[in-house]
Chain A
């Protein structure tokens, strides 16, 4: 797994790649365990991304937001 933070798309693509490799039955025990570990981390990451946009719609008005930001700067 890359040390840089993956995007949701690259993470999902990698998970699918991992599952294909595991499904092939060609991975040895050591590789299988490493792939499963990597896959679980990516699933965690993707679940976090999905959670971030599933907590409930928050609607703001730009005017209010700008006011709030400007207030914070003052």
Chain B
């Protein structure tokens, strides 16, 4: 500071000064004017005009700045600004240092002003998206378990919008007919975001609510900007119930789509995502499963009973088969035996016959031989028969004991002899 100190009184402070405030204010004005001139985007609030200037506040969720613009410049634009309109302003910091009779004021001196276009909104959206993502707010909803068959579904939507009918159509298509809690809220104007956030919090506070749908039909990005509200998105990200968003058409992507558990292109699809299971198909599938279980149950018993029956009958069949086999063997043995006996008999008969024949043959030849021998012997015997000799005139001399006497000396010695002729014997005496 170039100003000399005007107070000589000793002070305890280590800070420089004190300096005249006007000098400081003038220096502050110089310093602020050194700030780079920039463009800012925000919502216009509290527009008012004086004779020479218009004043308004430029706000967003994170802060605000007082703005001023020459009235003549503003009027050249021909804009009718109302509270909440998003604008882009160009300018730089300005400070009116005031005076002994006038209050100082700070403002952003606006030299350019235009209503924010889609490009401006998208840029702002991107910045906010990056911030939410960096804070990890895209993940919590996606980690929540979504029940396949929610019993109570909450829906945040406009009371008279087409989205309401689309949600009902989607639920009907799923065959779902549970409890539906409608939380109607404005879904377009710039006040919508806090009301939507309140509706979501209220729905999440009902323990029975399993899932919440936030639905809105298509519109311009500016119309859908309520669903890009940072505060709303932070609320959604931290809700205990999964939120399924369907805001705008599939080409639009609002920030609530990023933080929600699921984002869908239409309210109908959001309803279908809320009830992932087609209830009619599921019932048919379940019925089929029940029938198959029943069939298995019945088959398990009946088929096994048949098997058991078959197994139980098997020994009987086996015995019967063995018995038949044995009977067959017995029959074959008997037949074989009969055939064997007959053969033996025949063979024996043959043998007997042969023997008989042999015997006969033997007997005949022996007999003849023997007969011949006998005849020969008979003839021989007959030739030696003394009777035959006696018959021819010879006589046999015997002693009295009947012993033959073959010499004269013996006859003399015997004295009494017996003379045997062929017809009789006579006693004689030797002299």
Contact = CB atoms under 8 A, between A and B. Distances in A.
Contacts of B300: 29, 32-33, 36
Contact of B178 (A23, A33, A53): A53
Given A52-B149, A54-B279, A46 B286 contact: yes
Given A46-B286, A65-B181, A39 B277 contact: no
Contacts of A23: 292, 296
A26 interface: no
Interface string A57-74: 111111001100100000
Contacts of B179: 58-60
A19 B297 CA distance: 11
Nearest to B290: A43
Interface residues of A, number: 36
A49 B59 CA distance: 50
Contacts of A43: 286, 289-290, 293
B297 A8 contact: no
B147 interface: yes
A54 B177 contact: yes
B420 interface: no
Contact of A58 (B147, B150, B180, B203): B180
B202 interface: yes
Given A65-B206, A66-B202, A57 B180 contact: yes
B202 A50 contact: no
B290 A50 contact: no
A18 B293 contact: yes
A8 B149 contact: yes
B148 A9 contact: yes
Contacts of A9: 148
A54 B293 contact: no
A71 B272 CA distance: 34
Nearest to B292: A19
B303 to A, nearest CB: 10
Given A19-B292, A66-B202, A54 B175 contact: yes
B148 A60 contact: no
B182 A36 contact: no
A25 B203 CA distance: 50
Contact of B293 (A36, A55, A62): A36
Nearest to A47: B286
Interface in B268-290: 275, 277, 279, 282-283, 285-286, 289-290
A47 B284 CA distance: 10
Interface string B182-200: 1110000000000000010
A58 B199 contact: no
Given A8-B149, A8-B277, A12-B286, 9 more contacts: A15-B286, A19-B292, A40-B293, A43-B293, A50-B279, A50-B282, A53-B178, A59-B182, A60-B180
